[in-house]
Each structure stands twice: as C-alpha cells, then as structure tokens.
Amino acid sequence: TQLEQALRNAIISNAIDVHFQPIVSLANNLIVGFEALARWNDADLGFVSPAVFVPLAEERGFIDALSETLLRKAAEAALSWPRELFLSFNLSSAQLMDPGTSSSILAILGRVGFDPHRLELEITETAVMSSADTAHRIIADLRAAGVRISLDDFGTGQSSLGRLRDFIFDKVKIDRAFVSRINSDRASEHIVKAILAMCEGLDLEVVAEGIEDYAEAVKLRSLGCAMGQGYYYGKPADSVATLRYLHENY
C-alpha cells in the first residue's frame, strides 16, 4: 500500500522524529524524566500517528528497524540534557516476542554511551501476555543490565493484577482514562486510590498520565501520587525545544 511504502521510505531516510514529554515530581513540579514519542510528518501524507504506523511496522516486520532508529535518536538527545534525567521509551508487543530485542537495545545503549540505568521501557499488559516466556526473558535480561520496566496504560485493556505478582515491573503508569475523571467520578477516584495503595505495598513507583489541569494535579498529589505527566506539565516537544527548555529552567 501507499502508506506502507511511505513508512518504509521514512524509516530508511531517517524521517521519523522523536519528541519528548516531561514527567514531573508532583511534590515540587520539577522534571524527573521524559517519555520519548515517535512523530512522523510526511510530505505527502501529513501527520501520521504512531497509533497507526507502529502497528503497521509491526505487521510488516520493520518494527526493529524503526525502534532502533528511534531509541538511538532518543538516547543521543538525552545525552545532551543538562541533567541526568531518565528517558522512558515505548516497546511494542512484537518486540517482546523477539528474543533478540534485549541484546539489540543494550547494543544501541553501548554504542551511544547511554547508561542503561537512565532508561525505562514502557510495555503494556497485553504485550507481556502475548508471548509470556520470551517476554519474561527479555525483561529479565534488560533489568539485569539496569534498565527499568514500567507497565503502561495501567487499568485498561487486558488488565490482570496477577501480572504485578511476577515482580517484573519497577513502575506503573496509571492510564489517563482514570486521571481525566478523577474529579468528576467517584469511582475513578477510588480506583486511583486503590492503585496507589497497591503500588505502595508492592514497592512500585507510580506515574499518573494525562494530567490536563491544576485540579487533577492537586488531587493526585493529595492522594500521594509521586509523579505525573500530561499536557498540564508539557506537551511532547522536539529535541531542540526540549533542550532549550531544560537550559532555561534547569
């Protein structure tokens, strides 16, 4: 198809960019890390969402090529930040089915000179379940090298609390579906409270995603959530704008 051909060309010509969205400490609003998010603005097709091209790349077998380029770009950008903030990078489910994923990620970090302890990989529950043995092996290898693993979109999809019993995660990202209703829907508030209590007991870090206003930030902080992310703190921005912001503020 036209989209597939355009994506192939974009990967080969390095045209897919990485943007960065801040993750802050809710206690003091200081940035503690950034999530890398792929961005593709094609000359003919215009803006194509990663929600479209990531699954297409998985299906057509070029997710490895795409992800390697993105991780390299993200890590290189992070090396120029004035502080050792963490970098959070999304892994797709197909990558968790490929036994070569851990060594390829660690090889990229080695080539770029990026400390694995500064990297976090975001994965979804569905991704871990789709190929459990391989996924567990990949995660174990990466964690042994110091990489941290966060469970993305927590509370949605094929949620299974049993996943948390495997102790393969360092952090949980509360899906914005709960965050956006935290001040209007009692059920969402109770669910977030329960997630926070559970994570405290399991010694997991927590980030609330999709914080869009002051009231949500205040509520989450009062409930004891340590970290937050969302448009209220900053939209994803390109590496130049991100670096400029850090130099001006940190």
Report the distance separating Cα 236 and Cα 38, nearest Å: 10
What are the E-state strand segments in the chain?
17-25, 31-42, 46-48, 86-90, 119-123, 148-154, 171-174, 205-208, 227-229, 237-238
What residues contact residue 59 under an 8 Å CB cut-off, 6+ apart?
Answer: none
Counting contacts by CB under 5 A, is residue 122 touching Mn ion?
A: yes
Segment interacting with Na ion, rule: CB under 5 A, options 20-28, 98-106, 151-159, 183-191:
151-159
Counting contacts by CB under 5 A, is residue 152 touching Na ion?
A: yes
Please tell me what DSSP assigns to residue 118: G
Counting contacts by CB under 6 A, is residue 217 touching ligand G?
A: no
What angle is formed at CA 149 by the lines to CA 143 and CA 150, rounded to 5 degrees?
A: 170
Query: Exactly one of 58, 120, 125, 153 binds Na ion (CB under 5 A); which one?
Result: 153
Closest approach of ligand G to the CB of residue 214, in Å: 13
At residue 99, φ and ψ (nearest 5 deg) are -60, -20
**# chain residues binding ligand G, by CB under 6 A:** 22
Convert residues 178-197 into a mask of x (bound to ligand G by CB under 6 A) and - (unbound).
--------------------
Query: Exactly one of 28, 43, 46, 51 binds ligand G (CB under 6 A); which one?
Result: 51
Closest approach of ligand G to the CB of residue 138, in Å: 14
Task: Residue 236: name its binding partner from Mn ion, ligand G, Na ion, none (Cβ under 5 to 8 Å by kind).
Answer: ligand G
Report the distance separating Cα 229 and Cα 180, nearest Å: 12
Please tell me what DSSP assigns to residue 225: -
Q: C-alpha distances in angstroms, 90 versus 47, 106, 118, 183, 197?
A: 19, 15, 14, 28, 25
Closest approach of Na ion to the CB of residue 5, in Å: 30
Rule CB under 5 A: which residues touch Mn ion?
Answer: 90, 122, 152
| Contacting residues toward ligand G, per CB under 6 A | 21, 37-38, 49-51, 54, 70, 90-92, 122, 152-153, 176, 209-212, 230-231, 236
